[in-house]
């Protein structure tokens, strides 16, 4: 039986001489792995392989069986043609980071329409973002993605509570005994970023590359504290270089 669904490509791995094993976050089945045959045999088929770059949004017709760990794709086409995300080095690096982070968070193949819509809209917003918004986009996505996995930081920053405890995910009035906390200006910036509901608001933040790097590392530390076997982000080094 076939099903129509939207999907965001998260990872693509070459398999054999002509095929790809592709991980896609689908709208109706959640995260799924697909074998895509015959897309690397010629220049003509290479154009088809371009559909499976991480961050690509596709319209899919898929075969689906609950008993199989790897599914098949019957038809695929562009669900959206980006204007810059796949070609702009900076935006592509940010998008690849977002795709890897999402892949690390999705542990089970369960449908989540609200999460899917947030992710698809985030990639679309990144595609049309100006330089300042794009530079801050990884921070926005990393902070707000936590909401969908049950460990969103509590936005309770105040004149009394100015230390962000990363183990608890909330601001407190003292430094905890463990090393997992953010204080000072970076805690205040995090509180401000937590209030950002629309990506265009990121244009209000004039952050340099070092501050972005430090904040992103601490936010990923937060993920590692709350997601088992989170591991290292492979796209992080490239992202630091371009930003």
- The CATH 2.40.50.140 portion of the chain extends over 1-81
Residue spans of alpha helices (H) in 36-158: 43-49, 89-105, 113-128, 131-145
Return the CATH fold of 84-243: de novo design (two linked rop proteins) (1.20.1440)
For residue 31, give every residue at least 6 positions away whose Cβ sits within 8 Å of its Cβ, in sequence order, or none. Answer: 10, 23, 24, 25, 103, 106, 108, 109
- The CATH 1.20.1440 portion of the chain extends over 84-243
The pairing of strands 30-36 and 71-78 is parallel
> pTM here?
0.95
Judged against a pLDDT cut of 90, whether residue 243 lies above it is answered with no
**Per-residue confidence (pLDDT) for residue 1, from 0 to 100:** 84
Q: 1-81 falls under which CATH superfamily? A: Nucleic acid-binding proteins (2.40.50.140)
From the CB of residue 4, how many other CB atoms can be counted at a distance below 10 Å? 12
**Per-residue confidence (pLDDT) for residue 45, from 0 to 100:** 62
pLDDT tens digits along 54-105: 999 999 999 999 888 899 999 999 999 999 999 999 999 999 999 999 999 9
Rounding to the nearest 10 degrees, give the CA dihedral for residues 36, 42, 48, 52: 60
| pLDDT tier, 208 (very low <50, low <70, confident <90, very high otherwise) | very high
Judged against a pLDDT cut of 90, whether residue 34 lies above it is answered with yes
Q: Which helix (H) or strand (E) holds 238?
A: helix 236-242
Average pLDDT, the chain: 95
For residue 119, give every residue at least 6 positions away whose Cβ sits within 8 Å of its Cβ, in sequence order, or none. Answer: 8, 25, 98, 102
């Amino acid at each position: 039986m076939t099903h129509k669904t939207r999907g965001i490509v998260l990872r693509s791995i070459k398999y054999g001489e002509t095929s790809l094993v592709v991980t896609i976050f689908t709208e109706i089945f959640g995260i799924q792995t697909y074998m895509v045959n015959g897309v690397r045999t010629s220049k003509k088929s290479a154009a088809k392989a371009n559909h499976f770059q991480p961050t690509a949004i596709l319209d899919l017709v898929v075969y689906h069986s609950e008993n199989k760990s790897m599914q098949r794709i019957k038809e695929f086409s562009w669900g959206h043609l980006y204007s810059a995300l796949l070609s702009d080095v900076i935006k592509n690096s940010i998008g690849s980071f977002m795709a890897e982070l999402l892949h690390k968070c999705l542990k089970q193949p369960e449908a989540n329409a609200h999460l899917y819509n947030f992710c698809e809209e985030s990639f679309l917003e990144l595609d049309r973002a100006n330089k300042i918004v794009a530079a801050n986009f990884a921070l926005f996505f990393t902070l707000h993605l936590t909401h969908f996995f049950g460990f969103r930081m509590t936005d309770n920053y105040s004149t009394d509570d100015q230390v962000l405890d990363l183990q608890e995910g909330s601001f407190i009035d003292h430094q905890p005994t463990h090393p997992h906390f953010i204080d000072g200006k970076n805690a205040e910036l995090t509180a401000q970023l937590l209030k950002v509901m629309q990506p265009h608001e990121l244009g209000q933040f004039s952050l340099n590359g070092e501050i972005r790097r430090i904040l992103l590392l601490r936010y990923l530390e937060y993920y590692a504290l709350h997601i088992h076997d989170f591991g290292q982000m492979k796209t992080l080094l490239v992202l630091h270089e371009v930003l």
